[in-house]
Amino acid sequence: MSSTTETTSAAAATSLALPARSPPPNNWTPVWTVQPSAPVPIAAREQQLSSILGDAGPLSEKCEVTERPGQPCCKDLKGEDERHLISPEVVRDIIVGLSDGLTVPFALTAGLSSIGSSHLVVTAGLAELLAGALSMGLGGYLASQAEIDHYRYLRRQTRARVLRSCGGEMEREVHDILGPLGVKESRSRLITENLREVEEDLRRGSSSSVEAKKTLRQRLNRLKVCGRGAEEEGAQQEANDMGLAAFLLKFGEGMEDVPTSRLWISAITIGLSYFIGGLVPLVPYMANTTAQTGLIISACVTAAVLFVFGGVKTYFTGARGGWGGYLYGATSTMVVGGVAAGAAYGLVRALESNGSSSY
């Protein structure tokens, strides 16, 4: 009897219903989440970054000179070798024009002076000078045009690749550029998202693209990844310098857009430099009736100009400074011009002697 009672009690115990569970409150957070973690939106990341840097103040007002009373501002400090360099494109064109102008006409006139006719030297020198200046100018124009076409083709290809690529691939490419510079992966991802957002705004022509440009430029201005400003290149150039495609082109491929004005600037700079440089060895022949006397004066004047030009070129191109650096640049430029002139003079003398012996 007792065993039957125990069995019935056990069965009744196993069939007892659990008490009803009340619904969780609205602010209740589970210990273990059952939902996949969603990526943090860019707006939330920007808010977190703003909260971290909220007390730092704007970059325009950030300076440690107030913490170091009596000390000058770091912007007022100068290094040991401070030079005012010219645009490398302009310097390159001037060097190409002057180097050829001082070397080629001098070599030609030196070779023709062996014939003995000063009039022939001047006539041939002027003809070569005009033809060479036009040829060099057109060459500079066509070279700049080819550079513009090459860049615009790569820009179209890069923009198309950015549109068809996933976010992960773009993050890897951006981090491949910024990672070796010491930028952490988390920050390079944030930069990628900002750049992609600007790229999308520019593609859609959204009204928010202007504000996105300003925000991106303020954040990355110190990293120099935003290109030139609208004050320099205009609104269209501003748009071409913004976004992920422009970033990959400038820092991944090492290429920048060439303005259209560069075509004429390059042509005029190279042509005028060649013409001015070519007049230097030609003027002594105009002032002397004897070709040999003109050759001696032309050689001395051209050597002096090449020497000075080599030193000036070393200064404005940022090469190794000091007396040793300037002396090396001046001497090497003068030697190159002298070797070219000597080779031309010797070749004409050899041809003249062979022609005389054949007759």
pLDDT, tens digit, 9 for 90 and up, residues 114-150: 776 778 888 888 998 999 999 999 999 999 899 889 8
For position 137, what pLDDT does the model report? Answer: 92
Cα angle: 87, vertex 332, 109; to 5 degrees: 95
For position 238, what pLDDT does the model report? Answer: 62
Taking only the tens place, the pLDDT of each residue in 189-199 is 888 888 888 88
Locate 256 and state its tokens. Answer: 């920048």
pLDDT category of residue 252 using cuts at 50, 70 and 90: confident
pLDDT category of residue 187 using cuts at 50, 70 and 90: confident
Helix axes 185-204, 167-178, angle to 10 degrees: 120
Three-state DSSP class for residue 241: coil
For residue 271, pLDDT beyond 90: yes
- Provide the CA 272 distance to its chain's centre, in angstroms: 26
For position 68, what pLDDT does the model report? Answer: 67
Residue 228 has phi, psi (to 5 degrees) of -80, 160
The label of the residue with tokens 């900002």 reads 194
pLDDT: which is higher, 236 or 162: 162
Sign of CA dihedral 133, 139, 140, 141: positive
For residue 262, pLDDT beyond 80: yes
Cα angle: 293, vertex 297, 300; to 5 degrees: 145
Locate 237 and state its tokens. Answer: 């150039």
**Sequence-distant (≥ 6) Cβ neighbours of residue 107 within 8 angstroms:** 340, 341, 343, 344, 345
- Provide the CA 206 distance to its chain's centre, in angstroms: 28
For position 118, what pLDDT does the model report? Answer: 79
Check if the beta carbon of residue 203 is closer than 8 Å to that of residue 244. no
Among 12, 291, 271, 251, smallest CA distance to 125 is for 291
For position 270, what pLDDT does the model report? Answer: 93
Rounded to an integer, what distance in angstroms lies between the CA atom of residue 345 and that of residue 238?
Answer: 53
Helix axes 118-164, 185-204, angle to 10 degrees: 100
Say what the pTM is. Answer: 0.63
Q: Of how many residues is the chain composed? A: 359
Question: Measuring CA to CA, how many Å separate 168 from each of 77, 192, 194?
Answer: 43, 10, 14
Rounded to an integer, what distance in angstroms lies between the CA atom of residue 350 and that of residue 344?
Answer: 10
Taking only the tens place, the pLDDT of each residue in 73-108 is 666 666 665 556 567 788 788 888 887 888 788 878
For position 61, what pLDDT does the model report? Answer: 65
For residue 268, pLDDT beyond 90: yes
Check if the beta carbon of residue 105 is closer than 8 Å to that of residue 125. yes
For position 305, what pLDDT does the model report? Answer: 87
Check if the beta carbon of residue 335 is closer than 8 Å to that of residue 358. no
Check if the beta carbon of residue 272 is closer than 8 Å to that of residue 130. no
For residue 272, pLDDT beyond 90: yes
Domain boundaries, given as residue ranges, for the chain: 88-141+261-353, 149-252
Rounded to an integer, what distance in angstroms lies between the CA atom of residue 238 and that of residue 138?
Answer: 29
Cβ of 198: how many Cβ atoms within 10 Å? Answer: 26
DSSP assignment of 167-216: HHHHHHHHHHHHGGGT--HHHHHHHHHHHHHHHHHHHHT-TTHHHHHHHH
For position 359, what pLDDT does the model report? Answer: 46
For position 340, what pLDDT does the model report? Answer: 74
**Sequence-distant (≥ 6) Cβ neighbours of residue 342 within 8 angstroms:** 110
pLDDT: which is higher, 339 or 274: 274
Task: Give me the long-range contacts of 163-167 (CB less than 8 A, separation at least 24).
Answer: 163/203, 167/192, 167/193, 167/196
Taking only the tens place, the pLDDT of each residue in 22-71 is 666 666 655 555 555 555 555 666 666 666 555 555 666 666 666 666 67
Taking only the tens place, the pLDDT of each residue in 204-236 is 764 444 455 555 555 445 444 444 444 444 455
Question: Measuring CA to CA, how many Å separate 308 from each of 49, 82, 100, 329?
Answer: 55, 20, 15, 9
Average pLDDT value for residue range 244-266: 85
